[in-house]
């Protein structure tokens, strides 16, 4: 007997989550090395060896690590609070202002769930990480797009549409969520824009969630401005040893926020997942304490891949992109793909052995794809050339 | 400047989650060994050594494990489907009918979120695991309690109130959620009750979520009936190597359900947590394949603790309990605690160095507390004696 599936709750119907980025499965051609640009390659860029050692030791230790308070082991929160106070330039109380989450994705879900009421308007940057919009929709609130002008001339910074943000707040949005560096474009917000966001949040009594997952990997000695240094009491910061450090397989993230918001997130964590894996919380112990030079080398290696990909893409008139300022993403515009982005992505897969994430995941970007270039250097460059060939044949 | 906390969304206001079981912190007396009955002690009962080896190897392997499809590594799903087909007595398609989740708690959240619409009535057994009710309330649905008659004469099985379940379904509930063995009482459902649940679900076109987290740890060679063997198409089974196997620190769980429901859970997983920690999914490799005799020894060791605790509690007229049939929980009735259960729990903490979980977490049980007896044997027995002393002084 086949039973008709129960209808999806209305929450699901809203969020349009049919496309799971990076989950596409189709045949890739023989003879080419498949490059999966939908996420980083941890063989090319493994975690710091101290992370493997710390988690392995925790597994052997057992009792001390297996269970933790829902908000995470107190000894881990103390380490994290101290290091992130220094990094972000504003103090953090380890007992009340930090929660360890199952990945920063888990933190984002808890954060938005703790702050968004049905029917709320929520300012969401376009383009930005796909889950910002989807979680807002899942919570039956309405995303209000605020444009990030990233298609700027070489050397010119991307700028957030501050008039658009003001209009969203004036129209009743009480919350802004965004990533810095921006995912998918790799743009780093200017100090001026971060200060303006803090000022607008204060003016309209609004709150801001900022996803700083990539904020340790900033290129060209560019300055990075931490929002929480300008508005601790209106700011929730998400960060974790994931992307730059290749620790995604551990699924540990950190949220820093005012105590009342952390309390609420912990209540929700008690029913969503209980806690981040006890043993995996040990992955935070070597974070910000990697061996001398480790981070500099990692940033330099990524900058070299970035530069080579940028050169490949800049040499073709069929595509265009922007030099990544932070993180490992680049957002590639393919004008000929407009209106048939799924076809282009499928061709990349079947003709070029390349997996990318489609632009429409990040907002109204029907001619773009996102690449994570934390890959084997030569394989990434070869794959970029094949992308250009497919784009030129469109 | 202090900013007033944003009001909690209505979802939070409903779920009454102020008490986070096991999270209470207060001073315990000097000189006594603190026994935390709110969860198992993985020093007393460590994970199978093969689990530590498998996860450690996965961490060293890196690339193969770090990332997985949102529903889990395909090679892990194949192992799990094969073993759970045998265990539960009904076939499972590894590609479509299994999802690996961040703990069974994560699976429960996804399952209920995928099936419960606002305003739904959901049949929830009383007593049962606290999160069943809380998640239903978080989803803005209404739990309809169905009584489990567990205060039965010695040797008599606990029985679900089938008239109550029929009434709940007749009144519009489309879903039942329950744990078997029951958490908190350790009751194992009779074959007759499981078959009756399946029949009622078919009669009313309803669906059933069953949490079988403890179904490998059944005492006294008692038979265990798997619901999915009687109604695959109306059943979602949650299970994982957590409690019996002391693998909670890895946070991996498994849900088995019809393909359309698994698809929906995966969509939601894509925004809630992305995936169970990639490396930790390796903890499932040795599951059901532990060394010869390992499980029998573990069950026997737990049965001995159970029997000794039962003897301590049976010797006092101040408390009463029921012999645990499966799992590591016992539910202790303390009639004098009625109406002042928080006071009793606090006294246990401050006078007896014992942490327990309060009965009201599991439904309308104002005179009960739950103990997880997966503890050091002698320490547990000593702590049980101290519990009796506190109960007798009430």
Q: Which alpha helices (H) appear in B21-149, and where do they start and end?
A: 49-61, 63-66, 74-88, 103-115, 130-138
**Same structural domain for residues B177 and B58?**
yes
Question: Is A23 in CB contact (< 8 Å) with chain B?
Answer: yes
Decide if pLDDT at A89 tops 60: yes
CA distance A187 to A158: 6
Nearest to A56 among B47, B59, B103 (CB): B59
CA dist B345 and B335 (Å) reads 13
CB contact under 8 A, B5 and A261: yes
The parent domain of residue B372 ranges over 24-47+293-393
**Mean model confidence pLDDT for chain A:** 93
pLDDT digits (tens, 9 = 90+) for A220-274: 999 999 999 999 999 999 999 988 999 999 999 999 999 999 999 999 999 999 9
**Same structural domain, A246 and A334:** no
C-alpha to C-alpha distance for B347 and A273, rounded to whole angstroms: 30
Chain A interface includes B174 (CB < 8 A): yes
Distance from the Cα of B111 to chain A's closest Cα (Å) equals: 11
Shortest Cα distance, chain B CAs vs residue A155, angstroms: 34
The answer to whether residue A255 neighbours chain B at the CB level (below 8 Å) is no
Collect all residues with Cβ–Cβ distance below 8 Å to B358 and sequence separation of at least 6: B19, B21, B341, B342, B345, B369, B370
A5: in domain = no
> Do B33 and B53 belong together in one domain?
no
Cis amide linkage into residue B138, ω under 30° from 0: no
Contact B277 A6 (CB under 8 A): no
Of A6, A59, A106, the CB nearest to B272: A106
Distance from CA of A390 to the nearest CA of B (A): 26
Q: Which residues of A304-315 are buried (b: 16+ CB within 10 A; e: fewer)?
A: ebbebbbebbee
Q: HEC states along B360-379?
A: HHHCCCCCEEEEECCCCHHH
* Residue A16 placed within a domain: no
Testing the interface with A: which of B15, B16, B115, B267 to mutate, by most A Cβ within 10 A?
B267
All residues of chain B having their beta carbon less than 8 Å from the beta carbon of residue A9 are 113-118, 139
**Structural contact between residues A73 and A65, judged by C-beta atoms closer than 8 angstroms:** yes
Instruction: Provide the 3-class DSSP secondary structure of residue A196.
Output: helix
For A153, the token pair is 């001339």
* C-beta separation of B145 from B124 below 8 A: yes
Using pLDDT thresholds of 50, 70 and 90, give the confidence band for residue A18.
Answer: very low
- In the predicted model, is pLDDT for residue A6 greater than 80? no
Quote the tokens at residue B294: 């390992």
Q: Does A134 touch chain B (CB under 8 A)?
A: yes
Q: Which residues contact A320 (CB under 8 A, 6 or more apart)?
A: A313, A314, A332, A333, A335
Question: Do B74 and B238 contact (CB within 8 A), yes or no?
Answer: no
Residue given tokens 């010119």 in the structure block: A156
Q: CA nearest B279 in A: which residue?
A: A249
| Any domain includes B5 | no
- Check whether residue B184 and residue B199 sit in a common domain: yes
Q: Does A267 touch chain B (CB under 8 A)?
A: yes
Rounded to whole angstroms, how far apart are CA atoms B128 and B214?
A: 13
CA pair distance B124, B147, nearest whole angstrom = 9
Rg over alpha carbons for chain B, rounded to the nearest Å, is 21
Q: Is B26 in CB contact (< 8 Å) with chain A? A: no
Please give the pLDDT value at position B23. Answer: 53
> Do B250 and A277 make contact, defined as CB atoms within 8 angstroms?
yes
Say yes or no: B155 and B178 in one domain: yes
Helices A377-393 and A341-352, interaxial angle, to 10°? 130
Residues in B closer than 8 angstroms to A47, CB to CB, are 62
Query: Closest Cα of chain A to B258: distance in Å?
Result: 8
pLDDT value, residue B243? 82
Residue A389 covered by a domain:
yes
Give the residues of chain B that fall short of pLDDT 50. 17-19
CB atoms within 10 A of CB A31: 6
Using the 3D structure, point to which of B267, B284, B301 is the last residue of a domain: B284
- What span, in angstroms and rounded, lies between the C-alpha atoms of B71 and A28? 22
Nearest CA-CA partner of A181 in A375, A328, A347? A328
Chain B hits for A251, CB-CB cut-off 8 Å, are 102, 273-278, 280
Contact A277 B274 (CB under 8 A): no
pLDDT band at A94; cut points 50, 70, 90: very high
DSSP B280-343: GGGGGTTTT-PPTTHHHHHHHHHHHHHHHHHHHHHT-SS-B-----BSSEEEEE-GGGTT-HHH
Q: Of B342, B104, B90, whose CA–CA distance to B243 is shortest?
A: B104
Rg (CA), chain A: 21
Question: Residue B135 and residue B114: Cα distance in Å, rounded?
Answer: 12
Query: Quick one: CA torsion of B340, B343, B348, B354, rounded to 10 degrees?
Result: 100
Smallest Cβ–Cβ distance between B66 and the set A1, A10, A249 belongs to A249
Q: Check CB contact of A57 with chain B, cutoff 8 Å.
A: no
A330 shares a domain with A256? no
Select from A55, A85, A394 the least CA-distant residue to A237: A85
Candidates B167, B137, B147; CA nearest to B12 is: B137
A residues 334-393 near B, CB within 8 Å? none
Residue A186, sorted as left (phi over 0), alpha (psi -120 to 50) or beta, turns out to be left
In this structure, are strands A253-256 and A98-101 parallel, antiparallel, or unpaired? antiparallel
| A13 neighbourhood in chain B, CB within 8 Å | none
Domain-embedded: residue B198: yes
Contacts of B35 in chain A (CB under 8 A): none
The token duo for B218 is 């059944």
Q: Is B54 contained in some domain? A: yes
A10 falls within a domain: no
Closest chain A residue to B263, measured at CA: A18
Contact A63, A267 (CB under 8 A): no
Nearest Cα residue to B237 out of B218, B262, B273, B205: B262
Closest CA to B104 of B327, B323, B320: B327
- Find out whether B214 and B244 touch, Cβ atoms under 8 Å: yes
Distance from the Cα of A64 to chain B's closest Cα (Å) equals 9
Tokens at residue B48, please?
């199978």
Which residues in chain B (194-233) have CB-CB distances under 8 A to chain A? 205, 207, 233
Predicted pLDDT of residue B13: 67
Interface probe with B: pick from A273, A280, A283, A372, most Cβ of B within 10 Å: A273
Residue A354: phi and psi, rounded to 5, are: -130, 130
Reference A364, options A181, A119, A160, A126; nearest CA is A126
Q: Compare CB distances from A273 to B105, B233, B260 and report the shortest one's residue.
A: B105
Where residue A111 falls among pLDDT bands split at 50, 70, 90? very high
Same domain, yes or no, for B110 and B224? yes
* A207 contacts B274? CB cut-off 8 A: no
The residue in chain A having the minimum alpha-carbon distance to the alpha carbon of residue B175 is: A6
CATH number where A368 lies: 3.90.1150.10
Determine the distance in angstroms separating the CA of A156 from the nearest CA of chain B, rounded to an integer: 33
- Helical axes A49-61 vs B49-61, angle rounded to 10°: 170
Residue pair B280/B322 in contact (Cβ under 8 Å)? The answer is no
Q: Is there a domain that residue B361 lies in?
A: yes
Q: Is A26 on the interface with B (CB under 8 A)?
A: no
Q: What is the pLDDT of residue B22?
A: 52
Contact between chains at A1 and B115 (C-beta distance less than 8 A): no
Whether the CB-CB separation of B37 and B372 falls below 8 Å is answered with yes
Measure B157 CA to nearest chain A CA, in Å: 30
Question: How far apart are the C-alpha atoms of B381 and A158, rounded to whole Å?
Answer: 66
* Residue predicted with more confidence, B323 or A153: B323
User: Which chain B positions have a beta carbon within 8 Å of A59's beta carbon?
Assistant: 52, 55-56, 249
CB–CB contact B273 A55 (8 Å): no
Take residue B249 and report the two structure tokens written for it. Answer: 């620190």
CA A43 to chain centre: 20
Nearest to B373 by CA among B294, B287, B308, B295: B308
With contact defined as beta carbons under 8 Å apart, do A19 and A350 qualify? no
A279: cis peptide before it, omega within 30°? no
Q: Which SS3 state, helix, strand or coil, does residue A122 take?
A: strand
Q: Are residues A258 and A375 in the same domain?
A: no
Residues B265 and B325 in one domain: no
Shared domain for A277 and A348, answered yes or no, is no
- Contact of B264 with chain A, judged by CB distance below 8 Å, is answered with yes
Interface contacts (A, B; CB < 8 Å)? 220
- Check: CB of residue A169 under 8 Å from CB of residue A215: no
Question: Is B172's Cβ below 8 Å from some Cβ in A?
Answer: no
Q: How far apart are CA B250 and CA B50, in angstroms?
A: 13
- What secondary structure does DSSP assign to B116-163, as a single string? --TT-EEEEEES--HHHHHHHHHTT-EEEEEEEE--PPTTPPPEE-HH
- Tell me the pLDDT tens digit for each residue of A206-221: 999 999 999 999 999 9
Structure tokens at B253: 């769980």
Say whether both A266 and A307 belong to one domain.
Answer: no
With an 8 Å Cβ cutoff, is B31 touching chain A?
no
Whole-angstrom distance, CA of residue A13 vs CA of residue B92: 27
Residues of chain B with C-beta less than 8 angstroms from the C-beta of A103: 273-274
Domain boundary among B284, B310, B340: B284
Q: How many CA atoms lie within 13 A of A229 on its CB side?
A: 12
Q: Which residues from A are below 8 Å from B66, CB to CB?
A: 42, 246, 248-249
What does the alpha-carbon distance between residue A246 and residue B25 come to, in Å, rounded to a whole number? 35
Q: Do B267 and B194 share a structural domain?
A: yes
**For all residues of chain B together, what is the average pLDDT?**
93
Q: Are A124 and A145 in contact (CB under 8 A)?
A: yes
Segment holding A175, helix H or strand E: strand A175-179
- Residue in A10, A248, A280 nearest the CB of B280: A280
CB pair distance less than 8 Å for A270 and B131:
yes
Last residue of one domain, picked from the residues B230, B263, B284: B284
Give chain B's domain count.
Answer: 2
Distances (CA, A) of A281 to A245, B127, B282, B351, B362: 15, 33, 17, 32, 29
**Residues 95-124 (B) with a CB less than 8 A from some CB of A:** 102-103, 105-106, 109, 113-118
pLDDT of residue A14: 64
Is B260 near chain A, with CB under 8 Å?
yes
- Taking a C-beta distance cutoff of 8 angstroms, is the pair A245, A287 a contact? yes
Residues 6 or more apart in contact with residue B220 via CB below 8 angstroms: B303, B325
- Alpha carbon distance, N-terminus to C-terminus of chain B: 47
CATH number of the domain to which A198 belongs: 3.40.640.10
């Amino acid at each position: 007997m086949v039973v008709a599936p129960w209808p999806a709750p209305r929450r699901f119907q809203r969020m349009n989550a049919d496309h799971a980025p990076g989950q596409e499965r189709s045949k890739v051609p023989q003879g080419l090395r498949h490059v999966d640009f939908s996420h980083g390659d941890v063989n090319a860029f493994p975690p710091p060896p101290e992370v493997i050692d710390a988690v392995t030791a925790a597994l052997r230790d057992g009792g001390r690590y297996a269970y933790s308070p829902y908000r995470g082991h107190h000894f881990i929160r103390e380490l994290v609070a101290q290091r992130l106070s220094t990094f972000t330039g504003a103090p953090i109380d380890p007992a009340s202002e930090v929660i360890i989450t199952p990945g920063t994705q888990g933190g984002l879900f808890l954060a938005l769930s703790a702050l968004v009421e049905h029917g709320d308007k929520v300012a969401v940057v376009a383009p930005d990480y796909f889950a910002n919009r989807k979680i807002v929709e899942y919570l039956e609130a309405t995303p209000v797009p605020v444009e990030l002008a990233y298609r700027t001339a070489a050397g010119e910074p991307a700028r957030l549409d501050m008039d658009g943000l003001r209009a969203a707040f004036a129209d009743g949005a009480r919350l802004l969520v965004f990533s810095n560096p921006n995912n998918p474009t790799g743009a780093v917000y200017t100090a001026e824009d971060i200060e303006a966001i803090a000022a607008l949040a204060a003016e309209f009594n609004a709150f801001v969630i900022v996803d700083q997952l990539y904020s340790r990997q900033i290129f060209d000695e560019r300055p990075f401005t931490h929002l929480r240094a300008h508005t601790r009491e209106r700011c929730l910061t998400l960060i974790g040893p994931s992307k730059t450090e290749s620790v995604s397989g551990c699924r540990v993230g950190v949220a820093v926020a005012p105590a009342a918001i952390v309390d609420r997130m912990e209540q929700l964590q008690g029913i969503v997942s209980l806690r981040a894996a006890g043993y995996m919380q040990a992955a935070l112990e070597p974070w910000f304490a990697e061996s001398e030079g480790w981070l500099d080398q990692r940033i330099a290696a990524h900058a070299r891949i970035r530069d080579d990909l940028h050169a490949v893409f800049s040499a073709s008139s069929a595509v265009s992109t922007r030099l990544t300022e932070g993180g490992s993403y680049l957002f590639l515009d393919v004008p000929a793909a407009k209106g048939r982005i799924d076809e282009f992505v499928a061709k990349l897969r079947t003709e070029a052995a390349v997996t990318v994430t489609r632009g429409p995941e990040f907002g109204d970007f029907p001619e773009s794809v996102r690449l994570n270039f934390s890959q084997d250097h030569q394989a990434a460059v070869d794959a970029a050339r094949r992308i250009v060939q497919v784009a030129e044949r469109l």
